[in-house]
Amino acid sequence: MNRIIIIIAILSVLVASSCSHKKNVVSKGKEYETEVIKEDKKKEKKKGRDSRRYAVVEESRKWLGVKYRYGGKERSGTDCSGMVMRVYEHAAGIKLPRDSRSQCDFCRKIDRRELAPADLVFFASKAGGSRVSHVGVYIGQGKFIHASSSKGVITSSLDEQYYVRHFFAAGRVPGFDDKSAKREEEEIIAVKEDTASPRPGDKEAEALRRAVLESLKDK
């Protein structure tokens, strides 16, 4: 009689464990679906950021050849900060301050090695100086578009000696930061870790199964 009771108990444990496992499969399926959705959202956000950066670079290219005019901000004539202000206004819908020094203060400073297309590069009036007097739009591969007082809007290289000596800072316009993407990656990692961790139901079923097996050994 005792053996029959024990067998029934084992069967009950196995059935309960099987049900728990099915629930976990469903739960994991939902978590996998959540993970896929978050991955898709991450790609969409990244694509959105990349498209805005592309738009800024393309808008900057449209200004190539425009003559320099101090205080100007139109394609009939522009200075460096006027062009940058207009480019961001038209391509990204972001209103930047009017002068290069204020634009520098407005941006989040980044390391030069972190530069990405659409970031801004700032230069001092004197080599090694601390007074910002010039700004350009970085377009990648070490090059930037800016309004030169002697040549108008042109493309230059950050490796040119003049710009190496006068380089002041690299800046990222608010709204083009990648912190939101980092938060999403952390959320996705958390979901993966949660999926990999054992369920409370699994632990209880396993403990009960072991207890029953131990009792059988004693018989």
Q: 63-177 architecture in CATH?
A: Alpha-Beta Complex (3.90)
pTM for the model stands at 0.62
List the catalytic residue out of 19, 21, 90, 146.
Answer: 146
Q: Indicate the SS3 state at residue 146.
A: strand
Q: Where are the domains of the chain?
A: 2-44+180-218, 63-177
Could you give the CA distance from residue 118 to residue 84 in angstroms, rounded to a whole number?
10
List the catalytic residue out of 19, 21, 90, 134.
Answer: 134
In this prediction, residue 125 carries a pLDDT of: 93
21 classed as catalytic = no
∠ CA 43-49-52 to the nearest 5 degrees? 140
Q: How does DSSP assign 16-56, residue by residue?
A: HHHHHHHHHHHHHHHHHHHHHHHHHHHHHHHHHHHHHHHHH
The segments of the chain whose pLDDT lies below 70 read: 1-49, 177-219
Q: Would you say 64 and 52 are in contact if contact means Cβ atoms under 8 Å apart?
A: no
List the catalytic residue out of 80, 104, 107, 166.
Answer: 80
In this prediction, residue 184 carries a pLDDT of: 34
146 classed as catalytic = yes
80 classed as catalytic = yes
